[in-house]
Amino acid sequence: MKNYFSRRNFIKLSALSGAALGLKGITPTLSKDKILEKIDNLSSAPKQIGKSLIEFSVPPIKQVKVAFIGLGNRGIEHLQLVDSLCPEKAVITAICDVQQIKVDAAIEELKKSGHGQNPKVYAGTLDIWKEMIKRDDIDLVIISTPWEDHTPMCVLSMQHNKHVAVEVPAAYTFEDTWKLVNTAEETQRHCMMMENVCYGDEELWLLNMAQQGVLGTLTYAECAYIHNLRELLFSKDYYYNMWRIRHHMNRDGNHYPTHGLGPVAQYMNINRGDSFQSLVSMSSFQASLDEYSKQIESTNEFFNKSGYKHGDMNNSLIKTANGKMILVQHDVVTPRPYNRINALAGTKGYHEGYPSRLSLVDKGHKWLDETDHNQLIEKYKHPLWDKLKAGIEKYGGHGGMDFVMIYRLIDSLNNGWFLDQDVYDAASWSVVIPLSTLSIELGSAPLKFPDFTRGRWNENRELGILKNY
Q: What are the residues binding ligand NAD (CB under 6 A)?
A: 69-75, 96-99, 102, 126, 129, 144-147, 149, 167-168, 196, 239-240, 398
Q: Closest Cα partner for 165 from 186, 184, 137?
A: 184
Q: How far is the CB of 460 from ligand NAD (least distance, A)?
A: 29
DSSP secondary-structure letter at 126? Answer: T
Nearer to ligand NAD, 236 or 336 (CB): 236
Dihedral angle computed from the Cα positions of residues 104, 106, 112 and 117, in that order, rounded to the nearest 10 degrees: -110
What is the rounded distance in angstroms from the CA atom of residue 412 to the CA atom of residue 420? 9
Q: How far is the CB of 283 from ligand NAD (least distance, A)?
A: 20
Q: How far is the CB of 167 from ligand NAD (least distance, A)?
A: 4
Residue 140 C-alpha from the chain's centroid: 18
Nearer to ligand NAD, 69 or 423 (CB): 69
Nearer to ligand NAD, 145 or 444 (CB): 145
- For residue 54, which phi and psi values (nearest 5 degrees)? -65, 125
What is the rounded distance in angstroms from the CA atom of residue 451 to the CA atom of residue 118? 43
In three-state secondary structure terms, 163 is: strand
Nearer to ligand NAD, 18 or 75 (CB): 75
Q: How far is the CB of 232 from ligand NAD (least distance, A)?
A: 9
Nearer to ligand NAD, 101 or 361 (CB): 101
- For residue 261, which phi and psi values (nearest 5 degrees)? -80, -30
Nearer to ligand NAD, 144 or 342 (CB): 144
Confirm if 346 and 273 have CB atoms less than 8 A apart: no
Residue 98 C-alpha from the chain's centroid: 23
Nearer to ligand NAD, 243 or 385 (CB): 243
Helical residues (DSSP H) of 313-388, grouped into ranges: 370-380, 383-387
Q: Which residue is nearest to ligand NAD (CB)?
A: 72
What is the rounded distance in angstroms from the CA atom of residue 411 to the CA atom of residue 277? 33
What is the rounded distance in angstroms from the CA atom of residue 94 to the CA atom of residue 220? 44
Q: How far is the CB of 166 from ligand NAD (least distance, A)?
A: 8
Q: How far is the CB of 190 from ligand NAD (least distance, A)?
A: 18
What is the rounded distance in angstroms from the CA atom of residue 322 to the CA atom of residue 220? 11
Q: Closest Cα partner for 5 from 33, 44, 35?
A: 44
Q: How far is the CB of 19 from ligand NAD (least distance, A)?
A: 35
What is the rounded distance in angstroms from the CA atom of residue 224 to the CA atom of residue 428? 16
Q: Which residues contact 437 (CB under 8 A, 6 or more apart)?
A: 251, 252, 253, 281
Burial of 75 (0-12, 13-18, 19+ CB in 10 A): buried
What is the rounded distance in angstroms from the CA atom of residue 176 to the CA atom of residue 181? 9
Q: How far is the CB of 197 from ligand NAD (least distance, A)?
A: 7
Q: How far is the CB of 119 from ligand NAD (least distance, A)?
A: 14
What is the rounded distance in angstroms from the CA atom of residue 203 to the CA atom of residue 392? 16
Q: How far is the CB of 74 from ligand NAD (least distance, A)?
A: 3
